[in-house]
Structures are given as C-alpha cells and as structure tokens.
Structure 1
Amino acid sequence: MKLIEFTKLFNLHDSVINNLTYIPNQFRLRLEIDLCNYDQSWFKQNDPEIVTGFIEFTEVTAYEIEPQINCSEEINGSILNVSDVADNCLKIVFTTSEVQSNYSIITNTFVLLVTAESVQWKSVR
C-alpha cells in the first residue's frame, strides 16, 4: 500500500520499535515492532492487545535517522508520532530511554525519514 494510505489505516502511537534492518540489495527497510493492537480501528474485545510484526518498506530510495543510531543493536523505542512528509515519504518520531549506573534515565528522541514506493504490515503469529 502507499505510505499515505498506511498512515490513515494504522495508529502507531506508543508502539515499540524493537529493531530496524535495511536490506540494500532489495531496497527494503524493515521495522520490527510491537504494535498497540488496541489502538487499531479493527480491534475486537478478545484480540491480543499487543501484536509483534514488521512494517516493511519496499523500493526504498532513501532513509535517514537523526541523530544516528546503531541499528545492529536492539532499539526499544516508543513511537511518538508518524506523519506524511510527501506521498512517498514518512516521518517517524520515536524515543528511547537508558537507565544509567546511578539510576538516572536518559531519554533520546530520534526522527526517521523514509522515502519508499510502498509499505506493508506483516504480523508474526
């Protein structure tokens, strides 16, 4: 589906990004997330509240994360906002939190920009 359609169909607020993988030879960007299923329009009473799956962007022409993040490690970031920048470009704002040795918490905010032809949700069941 087109990216603009995806943002109208899915509510990603508070969903958790576990991992981000770019597959350059296939021009694919894959976000492993724990989707807040209870925030989706199709949610029914007996459905699981959280569903693990992948948001897969295809025919990716560009993606950028500011500030840069090590994508080879688990991200564990909470999605704050998803918005359309253009018909084929999404902006995803997410935060991560780290507990320091002195038990203080450092919160970092990241912006992921993705330009792609299409996007698809794939549930892992």
Structure 2
Amino acid sequence: MLKYNFHDSLIEDVNYIPNEAKLEIKIKLCNWMQSDYKDSDPEMLTMHMIFDGVEKFEMSTENYVFNSNEILDVIELDDRTVKIIFLTENDVKTIIVTAERVDYAIYENEQS
C-alpha cells in the first residue's frame, strides 16, 4: 500500500468525507529522502494521499487544525491499514486508516 518514505514530511491538511468513504491527506513530501531522488529533482513536493473505500478512520485527536505537522513514521499494519504517527505542538498523535486502496497525486509547484 505504501510507496514513499514519509519520515520528516509534513501533514498540511486532512479531509475525511464519510458519505463517499474517502480520505485525503495533503502532505509536503521530503522528496530528497526518496530512493529514486536525483539532485536535479525538487527537494520538497506537495502530495495528496487519497484513500478510497475507507472502512475505518481514527484520529487520536479531535477537531485538530493541521499546520505542517511532522510525520514521525507511517506503518503498514496490514495490506489495507496504515498508521500515521505525527507531532503536534505538545504531543505525539496518530491516524489509523483502513481502506480498499490509496492513490498518490504529486504536484511540484502547488501552493499551500
């Protein structure tokens, strides 16, 4: 399910649409940490992780407004479930998502 190294990347926004069983997470991806990175590539990219067929979405904090929160780790719990561990101002929080699939949309020059 996971194709990228998310460590030190930043969560910009999380948008869950329950009636569509869809979750979108906007991330500033540390492109320079990817295995296929070349010196001529941009160091940071904007990525949208788009989860479809969401069966479970749990966040260990309610009504949180994301503001470039650092990702500590993304763990694949099974072939349909991921756990995202991230920092807030005062704590470590998690997002757990179970979904049929995840797609990635990457933008080099998208504004926040």
Identify the residue that residue 70 of structure 1 maps to in structure 2.
63
User: Taking every aligned residue pair, what percent have the same amino acid on both sides?
Assistant: 35
Aligned to 1:85: 77
1:117 aligns with 2:109: no
Q: Which runs of 5+ in 1 are unaligned?
A: 98-106
Distance 1:28 1:20 in 2: 11
Local SS of the residue matching 1:38: helix
SS at 2:38 equivalent: coil
Q: In structure 2, give the amino acid aligned to 1:35.
A: L
Whether 1:35 and 2:29 are equivalent positions in the alignment is: yes
1:10 to 1, 4, 19: 4
Match of 1:52 in 2: 46
**2-structure distance, mates of 1:92, 1:75:** 16
Deviations 1:35-61 (A, max 9, x none): 000011111111100001201111000
Aligned residues: 108
Q: Is the 8 A contact 1:65 1:112 kept in 2?
A: yes
Structure exhibiting the larger radius of gyration computed from Cα positions: 1
> How high is the TM-score relative to the length of structure 1?
0.80
1:112 corresponds to which letter in structure 2? I
Question: Partner amino acid for 1:19?
Answer: D
State the shift of 1:77 in Å: 1.1
Tell me what 1:101 maps to: none
Whose helix proportion is higher, 1 or 2?
Answer: 1
Aligned to 1:108: 91
Q: Which runs of 5+ in 2 are unaligned?
A: none
Q: Is this contact kept in 2: 1:14–1:36, CA < 8 A?
A: yes
CA distance in 2, matches of 1:114, 1:45: 33
| Alignment TM-score, normalising by the size of structure 2 | 0.89
**How far, CA to CA, are the matches of 1:113 and 1:74 in structure 2?**
16
